[in-house]
Amino acid sequence: MNIMKFEDLQINDDIKKAIADMGFEEPSPIQSQSIPVILSGKDVIGQAQTGTGKTAAFSIPVLETVDPEDKSLQAVVLCPTRELAIQVSKEIRKIGKYMHGIKTLPIYGGQPIDRQIKSLKGGVQIVIGTPGRVIDHINRKTLKMDNVKMVILDEADEMLDMGFREDIETIIEKTPEDRQTIFFSATMPKGILDLTKAYQNNPEHIKVVRKELTVPNIKQYYIETRSANKLEVLCRLVDVYNPKLSVVFCNTKRGSDELVSELQARGYFADALHGDLKQTQRDIVMDKFRSGTIDILVATDVAARGIDVDDVEAVFNYDLPQDEEYYVHRIGRTGRAGRNGISFSFVFGKEMRKMRDIEKYTKTKLVKHDIPSIADVEEKKVSAFFKEVKTVIDEGHLAKQLQWIESFCQEAEEDYSSMDVAAALLKLALGEEKQEIIEEKPRERTRERREGRSKGTTGAQEGMVRLFINVGRNQRVQAKDIVGAIAGEAGIPGKLVGTIDIYDKYTFVEVPKQNAKKVLEKMKDIKIKGNKINIEQANRKKK
Ligand code: ADP
Ligand code: MG
């Protein structure tokens, strides 16, 4: 792996400062390999899996290349969906936050075009858009492509899958011949190679290759939990498994510092290890960890590289790692010297995809683990406590204590037994767990919806309308294609799209009532997986 620091890149200090604010400690492999090449002006095809930091890989060179003095449009980023356009635009703004005179604008279907036109008139140098809307603006002459120096296709494979090929070609052809053309993609289907031949000039294909790595014999679990509950889940797992030493991985320095404060506030002995610490500070933290003065080490990938402590019994991926290879490094902190190790990865929603990539890479299956319940935690605490109690009883010398209990029971006005006293002491010693309800059941909602369906007229969930689309499994349509098309064309956020039922020849999808008209309108003439579709409101269900 070509390990490099952000400091070593030929980028201005404003960008470096912003990256540091974002908590990025070191460039991810695709970033360290592609940023210098893009900065050199070459055309690039960047290929790396989802979640590996491709956005910053092109956003950094785009910001470095754009001339703030020149108010014309200089860079166009094409994204498959409205959500992605917004996300990319946010990331570019974050990276460029200390730079002056640079304006970026996301443009996508579904937002009033007048507002976009007004913003564009103010002079925008970087546009991030979905293909359809970009063409719309080109036709209206509200986007002038004559000065465009860079065209970036983000998630190129997705865009081709969604049938944007012609649109992409139209857009690229409007830009000057001497532009720099950059593709980023998780996969490299033939369609992209065709585009490459047609529009790129001697491109460099940067593919993040990974070594084959075998994962040592460690029990690997995953837990579905949303961000807001991660802390609670982590605490419960630590309480239930009671590992001698644990390493918890976060993706950013800030995240690890925050987690440490939260753990300390809850009474855990935790400390952070990350790249901001001086070597002497790191040594102090590591000494504390080795000696057990702290038993939870919260670390970032870079800092954890050298951790070689044999007693680490559990590794937590509080954040899923950027790269599959990191995963292997991380969990390798446990199960050392022939001991048993256990690892937990926290995932939710979209991250499941990243997890599947990790499974493919490591050729292992992560086993689903339920969130420990309060009862589990209590049971564990009580049994650990009774173990201590047993030792104390076995040691004897309890005459004085027995005497006190006896006289307490006798002198009390109520009728207390020594069992009552024991129970009260147990409660005092252990406290009572707060009843925080955090069971994650995303699937159950779908089941509820399905059950609810029989009540509605078209079978749709309350507030939703069920639409019929004449493509299905036979056309290799997947739920993500439907969500992508609705998001991209009608600008409805993916999360608002309801249940999707895909059959061989057709698909039913539910969308919010207030968006149904727009979806029907915007998706009238589009293609999904290369097939021109017909979309209409679903018929009422036969009673
Ligand atoms: P991709 O486009 O490859 O799927 P993203 O660009 O969306 O991946 O990045 C995934 C996540 O990783 C984002 O939350 C991003 O902020 C974060 N990230 C990107 N680069 C780094 C880095 N060098 N260090 C830490 N986090 C990073
Ligand atoms: Mg991306």
Q: How confident is the model at residue 209 (pLDDT cuts 50, 70, 90)?
A: low
At residue 164, does pLDDT exceed 60? yes
Report whether 368 contacts 224 (CB < 8 A): yes
Report whether 139 contacts 87 (CB < 8 A): no
Tens digits of residue pLDDT in 118-128:
999 999 999 99
In sequence order, the 6+-apart residues with CB closer than 8 A to the CB of 111 are 491
At residue 397, does pLDDT exceed 60? yes
28 CA closest ligand 1 atom index: 23
Residue 317 bridge partners (DSSP): 249, 345
Q: How many A from CA of 49 to the centre of ligand 2?
A: 9
d(CA 397, CA 454): 70
Angle at the Cα of 10 (from 65 to 86), degrees rounded to 5?
Answer: 45
The ligand minimizing its distance to the Cα of 154 is 2
Q: How many A from CA of 119 to the centre of ligand 2?
A: 25
**How many CA atoms lie within 13 Å of 446's alpha carbon, on the beta-carbon side?**
10
User: What b/e readout covers 129-151, taking b as 16+ CB neighbours within 10 angstroms?
Assistant: bbbebbbbbbeeebbebebbbbb
d(CA 344, CA 318): 8
Task: For ligand 1, say whether the CB of 54 is within 6 Å of any of its atoms.
Answer: yes
Which CATH fold would you assign to the domain 6-212?
Rossmann fold (3.40.50)
d(CA 330, CA 342): 11
User: What b/e readout covers 69-103, taking b as 16+ CB neighbours within 10 angstroms?
Assistant: eeeebbbbbbbbbbbbbbbbbebbbebbeebeebb
d(CA 159, CA 144): 22
Check residue 211 and give its pLDDT: 47
| For ligand 1, mutation pick of 4, 22, 320, 480 (most atoms within 8 Å of CB) | 22
The ligand minimizing its distance to the Cα of 351 is 1
In sequence order, the 6+-apart residues with CB closer than 8 A to the CB of 357 are 49, 50, 51, 324
87 CA closest ligand 1 atom index: 7
Residue 484 bridge partners (DSSP): none
Element (H, E) at 199: helix 190-199
User: What b/e readout covers 152-176, taking b as 16+ CB neighbours within 10 angstroms?
Assistant: bbbbbbbbbbbbbbebbeebbebbe
Task: For ligand 1, say whether the CB of 52 is within 6 Å of any of its atoms.
Answer: yes
In sequence order, the 6+-apart residues with CB closer than 8 A to the CB of 251 are 23, 300, 301, 319, 321, 322
Check residue 537 and give its pLDDT: 86
The ligand minimizing its distance to the Cα of 319 is 1
d(CA 78, CA 466): 30
Report whether 116 contacts 192 (CB < 8 A): no
Burial of 111 (0-12, 13-18, 19+ CB in 10 A): middle
In the three-class reduction of DSSP (H, G, I as helix; E, B as strand; rest coil), residue 299 is classed as strand
Going by alpha carbons, the residue nearest to atom 12 of ligand 1 is 53
DSSP letter for 104, please. E
Check residue 301 and give its pLDDT: 83
* Helices then strands, each counted (H, E), the chain: 21, 20
State how beta strands 150-153 and 75-78 pair: parallel
Residue 246 bridge partners (DSSP): 296, 314
Q: How many A from CA of 55 to the centre of ligand 1?
A: 7
Q: How many A from CA of 31 to the centre of ligand 1?
A: 10
Q: How many A from CA of 154 to the centre of ligand 2?
A: 6
Task: For ligand 1, say whether the CB of 47 is within 6 Å of any of its atoms.
Answer: no
The ligand minimizing its distance to the Cα of 57 is 1
d(CA 185, CA 190): 12
Q: Which is more confidently placed, 270 or 111? A: 270
Q: How many A from CA of 56 to the centre of ligand 2?
A: 9
The ligand minimizing its distance to the Cα of 18 is 1
Check residue 436 and give its pLDDT: 53
Provide the mean pLDDT of the chain: 87
Task: For ligand 1, say whether the CB of 87 is within 6 Å of any of its atoms.
Answer: no
Angle at the Cα of 205 (from 204 to 207), degrees rounded to 5?
Answer: 140
Q: How confident is the model at residue 98 (pLDDT cuts 50, 70, 90)?
A: very high
Question: How far out from the chain centre does Cα 453 lie?
Answer: 31
In sequence order, the 6+-apart residues with CB closer than 8 A to the CB of 421 are 405, 408, 409
Token pair in block for residue 317: 């991926």
Q: How many A from CA of 62 to the centre of ligand 1?
A: 16
Task: For ligand 1, say whether the CB of 185 is within 6 Å of any of its atoms.
Answer: no
Domain parsing of the chain, residue ranges: 6-212, 215-372, 454-537
pLDDT, mean of residues 93-103: 96
Q: Do domains 6-212 and 215-372 have the same CATH topology?
A: yes
Going by alpha carbons, the residue nearest to atom 10 of ligand 1 is 51
Q: Which is more confidently placed, 464 or 248? A: 248
| For ligand 1, mutation pick of 30, 251, 323 (most atoms within 8 Å of CB) | 251
Residue type for 130, please?
T
Report whether 307 contacts 333 (CB < 8 A): yes
Tens digits of residue pLDDT in 12-63:
999 999 999 998 888 988 999 999 999 999 999 999 877 778 999 999 999 9
Superfamily of domain 215-372: P-loop containing nucleotide triphosphate hydrolases (3.40.50.300)
Token pair in block for residue 239: 């309480």
Using a pLDDT cut of 90, give the percent of the chain over it: 48
27 CA closest ligand 1 atom index: 23
52 CA closest ligand 1 atom index: 3
Element (H, E) at 289: helix 279-291
Tens digits of residue pLDDT in 400-438:
999 999 889 888 888 888 888 898 998 888 776 555 555
Report whether 498 contacts 509 (CB < 8 A): yes
Task: For ligand 1, say whether the CB of 53 is within 6 Å of any of its atoms.
Answer: yes
Residue type for 480, please?
K
Going by alpha carbons, the residue nearest to atom 17 of ligand 1 is 53
Check residue 366 and give its pLDDT: 92
Token pair in block for residue 176: 């000057």
In the three-class reduction of DSSP (H, G, I as helix; E, B as strand; rest coil), residue 79 is classed as coil
Going by alpha carbons, the residue nearest to atom 24 of ligand 1 is 24
22 CA closest ligand 1 atom index: 16
Q: Identify the CA nearest to 65 among candidates 199, 165, 179.
A: 179
DSSP letter for 349, please. T
| For ligand 1, mutation pick of 5, 7, 24, 325 (most atoms within 8 Å of CB) | 24
d(CA 460, CA 501): 12
Task: For ligand 1, say whether the CB of 34 is within 6 Å of any of its atoms.
Answer: no
**The domain at 454-537 falls in which architecture?**
2-Layer Sandwich (3.30)
Q: Where are the alpha helices (DSSP H) in 440-498?
A: 442-453, 479-485
CB atoms within 10 A of CB 428: 8
At residue 474, does pLDDT exceed 60? yes
50 CA closest ligand 1 atom index: 4
| For ligand 1, mutation pick of 19, 52, 187 (most atoms within 8 Å of CB) | 52
Going by alpha carbons, the residue nearest to atom 18 of ligand 1 is 53
Q: How confident is the model at residue 444 (pLDDT cuts 50, 70, 90)?
A: very low
